[in-house]
Structure 1
Amino acid sequence: MAQTVFDRSERRAWAGQADAYAASFAKLCAYAVPGLLRAAGVREGARVLDVGTGTGTVAAAACERGANVTAVDADPGMVARAAQAVPDAHVRLAALPRLPFADDEFDAVIGNFVLNHVGQPREALKELRRVTRPGGLIAVTIWAVPPAAGQALLGRAVQAAGVTRPAHLPALAPEDDFPRTEQGLAALLGEAGLRNAACDTLAWDHRTTREEWWSGPAAGVATIGQIVTSQASAVIAEIKGHFDLLCAEFTGPDGALVLPHAALMAHGQA
């Protein structure tokens, strides 16, 4: 299974972004971790694979439960940061759609928002199934579409400035995409051969600050950051101006941003 144009674009976009991600969006993505561990049945002694570990949040939580944890990420900077943060896990460089593990090697596999960043989600899930023992559990998250109000804030600021997605940032190929709904994600797991697939929506308010929330896109983190940083300085300033105005909708009495988010969490059995 070869990498797609989308995969290669994702690798370039995330290169060198470990520190900026840790300081911005990592806290947001951590919300789903307890639910993922429960859905995957992570317990003491279980062989657990954390795919797309990022800064190691899932791996750390699984280690705290006494699991034997292997964690992989496609970016060397993320691998280095996760290895330092979670010394009890075996952290290595690897990327979907092909993982360097034997069939049936793990009792549980977790992918926290990793399916957002692969060019062939079905093939990625088939690979997760391959490395999971029969009867083992796989649990994944993705962002819901349409996005919740807080998640849409940065995109609204970009749109208000008249900015569209640059041509050098390819979207997922239509034949590889799927509905980002509970039904759509559960069906995707079923198509990948997982049994008893189910999906629920996680909804929460992410508390942050204007400075922290802007720091991610300003550094080029994620697709929204690549869109922002590919603009001329005057356009970036315009986006930031719209962002500041829109933040008023989400600013609480204490001055913090309170951003409603929603994600889909699905699980199935190999």
Structure 2
Amino acid sequence: MPSTSPDDPWSSVADDWGRYWGGFARPVWEPLLATAAIGPGTRVLDVGCGTGELLEHLQQRGARPAGVDPAPRMVELARARAVGADVRPGDFEQLPFDDGAFEALLAVNAFQLAGDQERALAEAGRVLTPGGTVGLAGWAERERNDLDVINSALAAADDEEPPEDGPLRVEGGLTDLLRTVGWDVLDGGVVPVAWTARHDTDLVRGVLFGEDASTIADLAPVVIAAAASFRGPAGGYRLINAFRWVVARRPER
């Protein structure tokens, strides 16, 4: 997590986020869109839209997307990328849209950041039409992610233990939560997601985005050494990770 203002931790790193991570989760978009039956004309809200890559993809598919993100710089970049999309600042727990405004809601690598997940799902239900669908996706457990090798090395360098998997990262976590609050789960699964870096500089900046220059200089050798087994003959890096996804239908009120 970037070490910036607690009220807006992402705006100052939004440009680097878009450069290194913006389209990272693309492989999970297709099962979400297919299962949620998102196509031409579908009104879709992308919560935690970041720098707008999914919004742009939805526009290209003929959908009618809108976005929301708590970071003003993310909103600015998303508006520039997905020209014409209605992108607003806001939080998952208090979405700035009318009741029944959308037929589908997506949250990719965002739902786990909601402070009150049950309230977030209640808000999702509020802004969806009857029969509307929600699609959630996020990181699977650490053992499925090559990036964990680097994160574990960084934790060891700080004499810390790597963080434990949260409940939404493990099998059944997302589906159990959705069923607990009354959503009808339609389908879900795990998708491999590759993260690539062209060279050492991109590897280090992508992993350590948001850190100050001295910290990056200190930790760069740790990152490069930990990633050695993922380096290709041309000098680039390819790390295979995994995202869990689930699509569910809004409960009847």
- Tell me, yes or no, whether TM beats 0.5: yes
1:201 to 187, 190, 194: 190
TM-score of the pair, normalised by structure 1: 0.81
Cα distance in 2 between the residues matched to 1:58 and 1:251: 28
Query: How many residue pairs end up in the alignment?
Result: 244
Q: Give how far 1:43 is off.
A: 1.1
1:260 is aligned to: 240
The aligned residue for residue 13 of structure 1 is 9
Cα distance, 1:9–1:183 mapped onto 2, change above 3 Å: farther
Alpha-carbon distance in structure 2 between the residues aligned to 1:63 and 1:179 = 29
Deviations 1:180-222 (A, max 9, x none): 22311111111232113532111133332332232134331xx
Counterpart pick for 1:120 among 116, 120, 123? 116
- Name 1:224's counterpart in structure 2: none
User: What do residues 11-53 of structure 1 show as CA deviations (whole Å, max 9, x unaligned)?
Assistant: 5321322111011122323332223222321111111111111
CA distance in 2, matches of 1:245, 1:194: 45
1:47-196 alignment to 2 at 5 Å? Answer: 47-164=43-160, 178-196=167-185
Q: Residue 206 of structure 2 aligns with which residue? A: 216
Match of 1:45? Answer: 41
Is the alpha carbon distance of 1:163 and 1:118 closer, same or farther for their aligned partners in structure 2, counting shifts above 3 Å? farther
Task: Give the structure with the higher percent helix.
Answer: 1
Q: Is the 8 A contact 2:147 2:241 kept in 1?
A: yes
Shift of 1:160: 2.9
- Taking structure 2 as the reference length, the TM-score comes to 0.86
Write the distance in 2 (CA, Å) between the matches of 1:135 and 1:151: 37
Q: 2:128 & 2:19 partners in 1: Cα distance? A: 32
- Counterpart residue number, 2:224: 244
Q: Tell me the SS of whatever aligns to 1:12.
A: coil
How far apart, in 2, do the equivalents of 1:30 and 1:55 lie? 13
**Structure 1 residue 36 corresponds to structure 2 residue 32:** yes
SS of match in other structure, 2:68: strand
Relative to structure 1, is the Cα distance of residues 131 and 147 closer, same or farther in structure 2, using a 3 angstrom cutoff? farther
CA contact (8 A) 1:49 1:71 kept: yes
Give the Cα–Cα distance (whole angstroms) in 2 for the partners of residues 265 and 9 of structure 1: 30
Q: Which residue of 2 aligns with 1:225?
A: none
Given the superposition, is the C-alpha separation of residues 36 and 198 from structure 1 closer, same or farther in structure 2, using an over 3 Å criterion? closer
SS at match of 1:49: strand
In 2 relative to 1, CA 211–33 (structure 1 residues): closer, same or farther, beyond 3 Å? Answer: farther
The residue matched to 1:203 in structure 2 has which SS? strand
The alpha-carbon deviation at position 146 of structure 1 amounts to 2.5
Query: Measured at CA, do residues 37 and 250 of structure 1 come closer, stay the same or move farther in structure 2, by a change above 3 Å?
Result: same
| Structure 1 gap segments, 5+ residues each | 1-7, 166-170, 221-227
CA deviations on 1:92-150 (whole Å, 9 max, x unpaired) are 11112111222222111111111132222232122112211121111011111224342
Deviating 4+ runs (over 4 angstroms): 8-11
Q: Mean alpha-carbon deviation: is it higher for 132-141 or for 9-18?
A: 9-18
Report SS of the residue matched to 1:77. helix
Q: Secondary structure at the match of 1:97?
A: coil
Please tell me the root mean square deviation across aligned C-alpha atoms, in Å. Answer: 2.5
